[in-house]
A and B are shown apart, each in its own frame.
Chain A
Amino acid sequence: MRRLSTRRFCALVSICLSLEPAIAQTTTARIVKAGNAFLATLDEKQRQTVTFAFDDEKQRQRWSNLPTSFVQRGGISLKQMNAPQRDAALALVSSALSPRGFEKVEQIMEGDEVLKSGEGNNPMFGKDLYFISLLGKPSEKDPWMLQFGGHHLALNITIAGEQGILTPTLTGAQPGLFTKDGKTVRPLGQESDKAFALLSALDEKQRKQAILGYRLVDLVLGPGQDGKTIQPEGLKASAMNESQRAMLVGLISEWANIIHESAAAARMAEIKAGLDETWFAWSGPATVTPGKNIAAYYRIQGPKLVIEYAPQRLGGDPSMHIHTMYRDPTNDYGRKAPAK
């Protein structure tokens, strides 16, 4: 019998879950159910490996853009699981994300598989080297956290009642463009295209403010830089017209909408409320080859938001190797959620 693809399996799980009585169908209830279903597939030793205390600061910060052989993640990897366990793990991740959010995650992992092939089947890379861990127990009331990540991916998802918090989250892509089943895939293509469209929509005076006169080679607030708020720079959204502000909101949604719809809606409302105090800054080439990613760094920073998009020079063409960071300096790891 052919094995179900991960996406089909997750879709099937979602359909099955949606047929349940409406009373049990809050999003959090679905995520909790998926969490418990995943834990039920593990043996006792695996369960111990995968679970941490909700307030385990070391585990919270055990994420990186780097391959897992360099920076060891907590929890267990997809490689260490059997097929039903892997499916249950991915179903849990999928339950906490939007369909596009999960697709983005799959594309990032697929990209790492492409990288592995391109590096002579290097065991440092590959889509089975992604780790899952739970901080706290899946609960509809008490806060708990789901971490999923590996090379170029770090999802830190806090569930606190009906709240869902996705910060801090790192996404990346290498290669930033590849073909899969005859289709071109750019995992972070929208992040590139929407940013370039916004820059192109600015008038000369606005561009002068938005474009920084210096080179930015990397993320400023990447891994290990929790709790820092840097002085914002660039063009303030209050100096943009309505169309440009809508483009900025659309760009931000590429990160905010990774999480499931109701949490994303709450987050977008929060971000829009602070839009006047949100800044857009750009550093690097203000041109792009059609169909490719930008080679420029940009940052969006608001009262409760930091987004960075940083092409990397290592490994050749910077547009093919991207790191991005998504933070809420006021609520990373859901710190505002009521303590357990």
Chain B
Amino acid sequence: MRNTLPAAAAILLSLGVPGSAHRLDEYLQATIISVEKDHVQAFMRLIPGVAVTAIVIPSIDTNGDGIISDTERQSYAQRVLGDLSLSIDGHPLKLRLGPVGGTGIGEMKEGLGEIRIEFTADLPRGNGSGRRLIFENHHQSRIAAYLVNCLVPRNKAIQVTAQNRNEDQSYYQLDYVQAGSRSDPRASLGAIALLFSAGLVLLLRLRARSGVLPRMTANELLEDKSKC
């Protein structure tokens, strides 16, 4: 399809449409992912080039009446979701379709139309603080031009550590750490420190009762700990 520019130009000329202002032989699919503590939300914009509308429009306007009904748009969005995959730490996630919107066929024929899709997925709790989200998009791969990015997480406890993609961005891997997770090393260290402090105080109190150390020393030590 990448070599269809001459054909695309011919189509445009036949339509009386100048090619210079239009997306041509690509189906741009731009996804922006937002990672939250317990779910992932994604926003997709699908923009067919004017030379690929002959492929894309019939797959949306399935009854061919020249109008994209809400039902057709929803149905198409579900099919798009079927071509996506999202996993966390190797476990596939179930995608839930959110709001779907977009322009009409007229705009699409001019290379200006788009379909907007939102979807979400719940995130199970992880076994560690480090997490790996993988997003794959194989929708209309022969004509697709993919873009994938993630928003800077609003939740400060989530820090992105790496993003990796393949050349055409059909594969996207997001690594992040989430403070406060069950096995977060920082949380684990805190718990160990707390247990150690409690044990130490208990030991000191027992020893104070047995006269090895004055009681005040243990309290002072406890106060010092609380300042840490």
Contact = CB atoms under 8 A, between A and B. Distances in A.
A217 B145 contact: yes
Contact of A315 (B20, B110, B163, B166): B20
B163 A218 contact: no
Given A70-B21, A124-B21, A218 B149 contact: no
A217 B26 contact: yes
B169 A315 contact: no
Contacts of A213: 165, 167
A215 interface: yes
A229 B151 CA distance: 6
Interface in A66-87: 66-67, 70-71
Interface string A97-138: 000000000000000000100110010110000000000000
A99 to B, nearest CB: 29
B152 A229 contact: yes
A229 B28 CA distance: 20
B112 A230 contact: no
Interface in B11-61: 18-24, 26, 28, 30, 32, 49
A230 B149 contact: yes
Contact of A220 (B18, B20, B149, B168): B149
A60 interface: no
A314 B19 contact: yes
A174 interface: yes
A313 B24 contact: yes
B23 A231 contact: no
A70 B32 contact: no
Interface in B157-191: 160, 163, 165-169
A230 B147 contact: no
B147 A218 contact: yes
Contacts of B149: 220, 230-231
A67 B21 contact: yes
A321 to B, nearest CB: 7
Contacts, number: 73
B26 A230 contact: no
Q: Is the interface of A mostly helix, strand, loop or mixed?
A: loop
A220 B26 contact: no
Interface residues of B, number: 27
Given A215-B167, A215-B169, A70 B24 contact: no
A217 B169 CA distance: 11
Given A220-B30, A231-B163, A115 B20 contact: yes
Given A214-B169, A314-B24, A230 B19 contact: no
A213 B28 CA distance: 19
Contacts of A115: 20
B7 to A, nearest CB: 15
B150 A231 contact: yes
Given A218-B30, A228-B32, A119 B112 contact: no
B22 A314 contact: yes
A214 B150 contact: no
Nearest to A315: B20
Interface string A305-330: 00000000111000001000000000
A314 to B, nearest CB: 5
Interface in A157-201: 174
A80 B167 CA distance: 47
A117 B221 CA distance: 85
Contact of A66 (B21, B145, B169): B21
B225 to A, nearest CB: 36
A230 B32 contact: yes
A70 B151 contact: no
A233 interface: yes
Given A151-B21, A228-B32, A232-B152, 16 more contacts: A66-B21, A71-B112, A174-B20, A174-B21, A213-B165, A213-B167, A215-B168, A218-B28, A230-B149, A230-B150, A230-B152, A231-B149, A231-B151, A233-B163, A314-B19, A315-B21
Interface of A: 66-67, 70-71, 115, 118-119, 122, 124-125, 151, 174, 213-218, 220, 228-233, 313-315, 321
Which 5 residue pairs across A and B have the least CB separation, nearest first? A315-B20, A214-B165, A230-B149, A217-B145, A229-B152
